Amino acid sequence: MADMIRAAVQTGPRQIEIREFPRPVIGPDDGGLLRIEACGICGSDVEQYKGNLGRQWLPMVPGHEPLGIIEEASESACARWGVRPGDRVAVEILIPCRSCDLCLAGRYMSCRNRVGSHGGSQPASRGLGLWGGFAEYIHLHPNSILHKVRGDIPAEVAVMFNPLGAGVRWACHLGGVGLGDTVLILGAGQRGLAAVLASRVAGAGTIIVTGLSRDAGKLALAREFGADVVIDVEAEDTVSRVAEITGGSGADVVLELTPMATQPIRDALAAVRWGGRVVLAGLKGGQPAELSTDLIINKALTVVGAFSVDSRAYAEAIRLIETGRFPLARMHTHTFELSDVSRAIETLAGEVPGEDAVHVAIVPGPSEPRGAALTGLRLSPKPTPGATKERRGKEAP
């Protein structure tokens, strides 16, 4: 490989440029070097891009959903991770200390001695700067958390470990979705769709998904992923519709995944059954939400805050992807090259007219074989409009 590594560097709000970094030399106590195959984009990339995340360490390399191949790694790191060069791995965003009391208790997401993060708030000036996934390579810290992923799955599908991990954690681990449960999912973005799939796998009875009128395509996809009922909240009242479907008793589990809007929180509390669970995962930009705590008390509700995704959920999501049983490729709508990171983020944000994005990924390497693999038979049973869009994305200037 070349001596210099290309990476997309954010220098300010809506400002991303390609810069070159010297290739890190991997020493015996170092981590390793990961060649990026694909890096997913989510709503927090959009906020980071716009400069809405409060304090940001700029310049920095964004991209916190990386999937790649271990190019090289120290022997100690390989032993620690259980990998060898050539293995495909998914990388978690957080790099914890792995030894504080929180880490030892499995709450490493709130590690007090965090080393840093891959693509989160991490200055490019720290270390070698190659932390984020919108790059040809990232420099893995020995404490980075990796998950092996089978190599024969199209990269754009394998990289869905991130949204699918959220679906698994929020629906199954935090929501406790079980056999026959009625699940209400507020929001039909990639995480809402992933929650549909996870709920279906967990044995949910009735799955109800809400979206806006402009989410019609996503709601159709929700049905393909196993939703029984979809609700256009601009045409129907969610709470009364759920009451109708459940004979007045309400949903067993409600996941609130909508960004910014606060009405869905009140809808969640109103639509859940007595003794049910509400999982809150839709951030509201710091604004307070008005709600009745009496309702929580009188309905004996469990309300859970869903911070991020953990290792268990990522691992289970990867196993689900590896089964090849789910039409995940249907969710992938756009692939972009490294030089098009801004346009990729704007596409996911819905700022590009005519583009209806669900899952968007940056693929920094050569693009020829993957498009074919994506429309291949096993993971994508039908030829998809997404595949067409994917090609369009690549041709974009």
Q: Is 111 in the site for Zn ion (CB under 5 A)?
A: yes
Q: How far is the CB of 140 from Zn ion (least distance, A)?
A: 18
Q: How far is CA 332 from CA 37, 193, 245, 328, 343, in A?
A: 15, 12, 31, 7, 16
Element at 182 (helix H, strand E): strand 182-186
Q: How far is the CB of 110 from Zn ion (least distance, A)?
A: 8
Given the complex with Zn ion, which of 85 and 350 has the nearer CB atom? 350
Chain residues 287-306 in contact with Zn ion, contact rule CB under 5 A: none
CB 67 within 8 A of CB 121: no
CB 211 within 8 A of CB 187: yes
The DSSP secondary-structure symbol of 214 reads G
Q: How far is CA 200 from CA 29, 219, 241, in A?
A: 44, 15, 20
Q: Is 42 in the site for Zn ion (CB under 5 A)?
A: yes
Q: Is 103 in the site for Zn ion (CB under 5 A)?
A: yes
The DSSP secondary-structure symbol of 101 reads H
Q: How far is the CB of 367 from Zn ion (least distance, A)?
A: 22
- Enter the tokens of residue 122: 């991490």
Dist CA 47 CA 255 (whole Å): 22
Q: Is 165 in the site for Zn ion (CB under 5 A)?
A: no
Q: Is 97 in the site for Zn ion (CB under 5 A)?
A: yes
Q: Which amino acid is at 185?
A: I
Q: How far is the CB of 65 from Zn ion (least distance, A)?
A: 5
Q: Is 348 in the site for Zn ion (CB under 5 A)?
A: no
Q: Any idea what the Cα angle at residue 73 is, between residues 67 and 74, rounded to 5°?
A: 150
Q: Is 345 in the site for Zn ion (CB under 5 A)?
A: no
Q: How far is the CB of 45 from Zn ion (least distance, A)?
A: 6
- Enter the tokens of residue 396: 């974009």
Given the complex with Zn ion, which of 42 and 174 has the nearer CB atom? 42
Q: Is 100 in the site for Zn ion (CB under 5 A)?
A: yes
Dist CA 67 CA 266 (whole Å): 37
Q: Is 90 in the site for Zn ion (CB under 5 A)?
A: no
The stretch near Zn ion (CB under 5 A) out of 106-114, 117-125, 170-178, 354-362 is 106-114
Taking Cα atoms as reference points, which of 41, 40, 29, 45 lies closest to residue 68? 40
Q: Is 349 in the site for Zn ion (CB under 5 A)?
A: no
Q: Is 328 in the site for Zn ion (CB under 5 A)?
A: no
Longest dimension (CA), the chain: 65
| # of chain residues touching Zn ion (CB under 5 A) | 7
The stretch near Zn ion (CB under 5 A) out of 109-117, 122-130, 337-345, 357-365 is 109-117
Q: How far is the CB of 119 from Zn ion (least distance, A)?
A: 8
CB 156 within 8 A of CB 332: yes
Q: How far is the CB of 4 from Zn ion (least distance, A)?
A: 27
Given the complex with Zn ion, which of 97 and 283 has the nearer CB atom? 97
**Site residues (vs Zn ion, CB under 5 A):** 42, 96-97, 100, 103, 111, 113
